[in-house]
Amino acid sequence: MKQKLLLVVVGLVAVGLTVFGATVAFRKDVSAAPEGFASPINVGCYIAAPNQCRIHVDPFTININDGAGARLQQFTLYANGSPIYDFRTDVSNPPGVDYSPSLVAQDFAATCGTTYVVNMIAKDTTDANPLNYGQTTAFTCPTTVP
């Protein structure tokens, strides 16, 4: 009886280890957490015309710590480390609550065939320096018109 119980336990442990091992082996790695808080930064690149590609950024919200009286001062969008959108707030009346910037009218210029990572850096009045608020995984602009 004891032997049967032991065998059942061994079998269950083996199955459990298999499931755990498969989960660990096939998971997709996630990078470090952002320093500030914003809704996810989701971005893509599309071909608008021959040799004309554009980066499109989905709407996002920057979370302001209104409990601490923080006010949003700036945010900047970067593509591969180069700024593509530098945004500043009102000097006398900066936003003190969560802020969702409007979408630009023509999307952002990009080079067809290039792979990009886009990240957003922002600063409020409680930050000593701008902080990274979100970043995409790499995506590639199309090369030719279908």
Partner 1 sequence: MRRGSRFVTATLFVVVTAIWLRASGAAPASAATAATASALNAGCYLATPTVCKLQVDPFAVQTFFGARLEGIRLQANGQTIYDFRTDVSNPPSGSYSPSRVKLGFAATCGRAYVVSLQVDDSSQPDFTTVAQTTLFTCPQGRSDVFLPLVTR
Interaction site with partner 1 (CB under 8 A): 3-4, 7-8, 10-11, 14-15, 18, 21-22, 25-28, 30-34, 39-50, 52, 54, 56, 58-59, 103-107, 134-142, 144-146
Of 30 and 128, nearer to partner 1 (C-beta) is 30
Of 68 and 138, nearer to partner 1 (C-beta) is 138
- Pairwise CA distance, residues 61 & 59, whole Å: 7
Nearest approach in angstroms of CB 19 to partner 1 is 8
Nearest approach in angstroms of CB 77 to partner 1 is 13
Nearest approach in angstroms of CB 93 to partner 1 is 28
Of 71 and 119, nearer to partner 1 (C-beta) is 119
Nearest approach in angstroms of CB 110 to partner 1 is 11
- Pairwise CA distance, residues 131 & 117, whole Å: 17
